[in-house]
Amino acid sequence: MSGLGGLNKSPNGVGLGLVQLQLPVVETKDDLLKQTEKVCDMVRKAKRFAAPIDLVVFPEYMLHGLSMDMNEEIMCRMDGPEVEQLQTVCAENNIWGCFSIMEYNPDGNPYNTGLIINHTGKITLKYRKLHPWVPVEPWEPGDMGLPVCEGPNGSTLGLAICHDGMFPEVSRELAYKGADIILRTAGYTRPIRHSWRITNQANAFCNLAYTASVAMCGSDGTNDSMGEGMIVGFDGVPLVEGSDRPDDLITGEVRPDLVLEARRNWAVENNIYQLGHRGYVAVKGGITDAPYTYMQDLQSGSYHLPWENEIVHKDGQAYGYDAPRKK
């Protein structure tokens, strides 16, 4: 159930609006300012929409497009005018927003940064994409971990940017920290459609969480983004599926209270609990170890695949980037 796309909101519900934003071409500071105003206009549209939307979610690359241009002139700063405008429009319209910026980094390549801003204009979550989509993306890997924050109507929000959602560990980390709604923002193009859908469903089911995901949409003359906004229930079943229409607003209602009910009461397939309580029928409380070699190796800094020495692409030079400057 999604309340007929969010038209009928329950007392415990959170109304979501996913914006399949038209893929822009942004080359100058003036382009960036115009695109920021367009995003603000879409926030206002979401507030005027018939469905009672609490949180409006924009895709990755909403301000910058898919050019991968690292021109300092069009990078954003946390104290810059673009972020200030996003804070102001949320406060003026009494609505939460999830946004994407390419953040200036004085010590290296820019960060791919996600922000959640509450209905008073306060930034309640900031995170930098952990796993840039290498070797295509040039962004500095994130250094802020995976935070969660309080969301509207008692929810707890987590955010996974695009490729981060392909790693089951990312959504598991967000759920482990309490997220009952996991947002995923992307710039993906059509070849990723199937992977997008199955990972959005798996991330929901494996963690007993709602996932709400949206990509850029339409063409910039070179790239064709797919849109594909979707909301998936905590049992892994899609509740709302979008289209490939640019600037479409996909809406639906989710129920964080039902997530908590499932997390408390499910026995079979309560996987996020059972991961850390192996075999609790046979062993009181279950075994709470970490029997997974890759976890141990990541922790010790010795992660190494059996075929690692045969990997072809280990930097971005095949995609036109210089060799990495940092070690």
What is the set of active-site residues?
A: 60, 129, 162
Give residue 197's identity as a one-letter amino acid code: R
What is the rounded distance in angstroms from the CA atom of residue 265 to the CA atom of residue 280?
A: 15
Supply the angle between the helices 193-207 and 168-176 in degrees, to the nearest 10. 30
Which two three-digit tokens encode residue 256?
A: 């964080």
Q: Do 134 and 235 form a contact (C-beta atoms < 8 A)?
A: no
Residue owning tokens 């970490």: 290
What is the rounded distance in angstroms from the CA atom of residue 23 to the CA atom of residue 67?
A: 10
What is the rounded distance in angstroms from the CA atom of residue 149 to the CA atom of residue 157?
A: 5
In this structure, the number of other CB atoms found within 10 A of the CB of residue 308 comes to: 9
Q: What is the H or E stretch that residue 113 is in? A: strand 111-117
